[in-house]
Amino acid sequence: MTDDKKRLIALLVQAMPELTAGQLHWLQRVVRVFSAEHDFRLSETDLFDETTLQNFGDAIRVHHSFSSEPFSKDKFEYVLVNVLKMSGHTASLAPKGNPGHDASSDGVKLSLKTQADKGVKENIIWISKFMELGKGTWGDNPDDLVGLRKQFLEHMKAYDRILILRTLAKTPKWKYELVEIPKSLLLKAKDGELQMMADSKQYPKPGYCHVQNKAGETIFDLYFDGGTERKLQIKNLNKSVCSVHATWEFIIPPE
């Protein structure tokens, strides 16, 4: 046992007599969750080590000690920055409302996303809101999609790496994975096939940018979501062309 761990244990023991019965109840709940079955695994990663893997997974488990809702984007951002700092990295959150990167680590700007939809498919990634498309000409002219795609390509200049925390299974046995979407992959959209959905009742009209491999198979689609949303989605992204950094599987025991 390290000296730092001994010091933390001593501080906790010293503080316990001053805790209320309710506070002790919640503390005992977290300890029970930490004792439950879990399996944390690293894949090919230059971002996490075993300690960071454990610290991140334990933070998710603390969340689920008190909630059956998936880990949200703001919690992902906050916890990722803090576990990286705990492992000796220089990390920080971007200013709130920053239109580009969400966080940085060792000078590398990170775009952070989450996926927790009910119909999630393990091998297909969907990002329901990659960015807002509030500016630029957008009506029912197919040529308008050229400008929207340009917005997307410009937006990606604001960060270096794209990470998505995916919720693949939910209560009581949860499964999360951290996937990196290669920026170079998404930049292939510059040569994608544009398609305006002319029959849609929405205005502005939604549209697609289809990106395929040489065999004509879909790699991913950009979806320009029209109407009042005016946002860009990424659909049908094949996880096989991405890289998995880590996975976390764990049981949350009942109250």
Domains and CATH numbers, the chain: 33-251 (3.40.600)
- Amino acid 228: pLDDT: 79
Q: Do you find a cis peptide bond into 172, omega within 30 degrees of 0?
A: yes
Res 226: pLDDT = 87
In which band, very low, low, confident or very high, does the pLDDT at 229 lie, cut at 50, 70 and 90? confident
Mean confidence (pLDDT) of the chain: 95
Whether 227 shows a pLDDT value over 80: the answer reads no
Q: What's the distance, CA 97 to chain centroid?
A: 17
pLDDT category at 24 given cuts 50, 70, 90 is very high
Q: For residue 200, how many C-alpha atoms fall within 13 Å in the half-sphere facing its CB? A: 19
Q: Which residues, 6 or more positions from 231, have their beta carbon under 8 angstroms from its beta carbon?
A: 129, 130, 131, 132, 133, 225
- Over residues 114-125, mean pLDDT: 96
**In the predicted model, is pLDDT for residue 135 greater than 80?**
no
Residue 4 has a pLDDT of: 86
**Residue 18 phi, psi dihedral angles, 5° rounding:** -90, -10
- The pLDDT confidence band at residue 79, using thresholds 50, 70 and 90, is very high
Position 1 pLDDT exceeds 80? no
What is the average per-residue pLDDT within 174-185? 98
pLDDT score of 121: 96
**Residue 68 CA neighbour count, 13 Å, CB half:** 7
pTM: 0.95
Long-range contact set of residues 230-233: C-beta below 8 Å, sequence gap at least 24: 230/132, 230/133, 230/134, 230/138, 230/204, 231/129, 231/130, 231/131, 231/132, 231/133, 232/129, 232/130, 232/131, 232/132, 232/133, 232/148, 232/151, 232/152, 233/126, 233/127, 233/128, 233/129, 233/130
Strand, helix or coil for residue 15: helix
Which H or E run contains 83?
helix 73-86
* Other Cβ atoms closer than 10 A to 174: 21
CB neighbourhood size of 142 (10 A): 13
Q: Is the pLDDT of residue 230 over 80?
A: yes
